Amino acid sequence: MSEIYRASTTAPVNIAVIKYWGKRDPKLNLPTNSSLSVTLSQSDLRTHTTASCSPSYPSEDALLLNGQAQDVSGARTQACFRELRALRQTLEASDSSLPKLASYPLRIVSENNFPTAAGLASSAAGFAALVRAIANLYELPSSPTDLSRIARQGSGSACRSLFGGYVGWEQGAATDGSDSVAFQVAPASYWPSMRALILVVSAAKKGVSSTTGMQTTVATSSLFPSRASETVPRRMAEMQKAIQEKDFETFGKVTMMDSNSFHATCLDTYPPIFYLNDVSRAAIKVVEVINEAAGRIVAAYTFDAGPNAVVYYLEENEKLVAGLFKAALGDKDGWKGARGDKVESNADAL
């Protein structure tokens, strides 16, 4: 029997506080604006992936997600496989004693411990884990930055899940995408009291995929050009400064305003895209009530391409924020202890 080579890894979900929305190159997933996210702790939301390869496998590459066979023929998955195989081939060419793994069929087995495609950034954790698992299998000397460039081609936001803590994605200017990579703004340990409360409003698959949504927004929204060229660049600078200064008021205000701006461009798209629903709007109201009662910003909501709310707050305001949500929604399933999800400290150490 021929040998099976295998490597496993996990990658956490990241939730953007400055949203990526718009592609200047849909093939390479090159964005129209830079973005910034917080990588969550592995404890609750993560993808676990095992990559294996063997000359004994059936000739086609295969991917199983939560036990279901997935189509790997799509350009995005193929781009990741191709780039990683090319790097392995370079290694094999320089050392003839290495097994010829790049020529063997791949089998990828992934498990999410949260609803897939419900606006919970499942593709981000999914492609980040897929790319790192194969890189580990191939024993590539690639840095997280190199891997972010590859994962970006699977799903844009995936590039940010290669780093822990507070992570930016520089839109870059090169047409080949070589400078469109993720970078760490600060490790989670720099501002360790950040917490994220995730309200799963609906675990159903989202109505309009992010790729389709982005394309229609770029093509039709009149708000979009100013968001991409003026609003986001200004907020990227404000957000990085807020993180450096551990200034939650600014962090929270910019987070909420950027979520509102992103969903405004969705509404301004023709035909309009509605990701938020009445429960999402009720969550916004609760955050406003909490902040009004506190007399300052202690909680910040943000929504991706779906109705689920993520509420950022600092540990010292646990009672004020998570406590109030728990008082209102405590009868619902899924409360994993008193705390929200902790920010991941260092994705490299996974």
Q: Which residues sit at the interface with ligand PMV, rule CB under 6 A?
A: 16, 19-21, 35, 121, 123-124, 155-157, 210-211, 304-305
Report the nearest approach of ligand PMV to the CB of residue 70 (Å): 16
Rounded-to-integer distance, Cα 287 and Cα 90, Å? 52
**Beta carbon nearer to ligand PMV, 38 or 51:** 38
**Beta carbon nearer to ligand PMV, 29 or 317:** 29
Radius of gyration of the chain (CA): 20
Contact predicate 16/37, CB 8 Å: yes
Which residues, at least 6 apart from 1, have a Cβ–Cβ distance to it below 8 Å?
56
Report the nearest approach of ligand PMV to the CB of residue 120 (Å): 9
Report the nearest approach of ligand PMV to the CB of residue 157 (Å): 3
**Beta carbon nearer to ligand PMV, 54 or 215:** 215
Contact predicate 324/16, CB 8 Å: no
Report the nearest approach of ligand PMV to the CB of residue 332 (Å): 24
Phi, psi of 48 (to 5 degrees): -105, 130
**Beta carbon nearer to ligand PMV, 124 or 311:** 124
Report the nearest approach of ligand PMV to the CB of residue 338 (Å): 28
**Beta carbon nearer to ligand PMV, 264 or 324:** 264
**Beta carbon nearer to ligand PMV, 53 or 124:** 124
Report the nearest approach of ligand PMV to the CB of residue 341 (Å): 16
Residue 189 DSSP label: G
Which residues, at least 6 apart from 119, have a Cβ–Cβ distance to it below 8 Å?
206, 275, 303, 304, 305, 306, 307, 308
Pseudo-torsion of CA 79, 85, 87, 92, nearest 10°?
-170
Which residues, at least 6 apart from 269, have a Cβ–Cβ distance to it below 8 Å?
213, 216, 217, 220, 221
**Beta carbon nearer to ligand PMV, 20 or 166:** 20
Strands 30-31 and 35-39 turn out to be unpaired
Report the nearest approach of ligand PMV to the CB of residue 304 (Å): 4
Q: What angle do CA 111, 67, 275 make, to 5 degrees?
A: 65
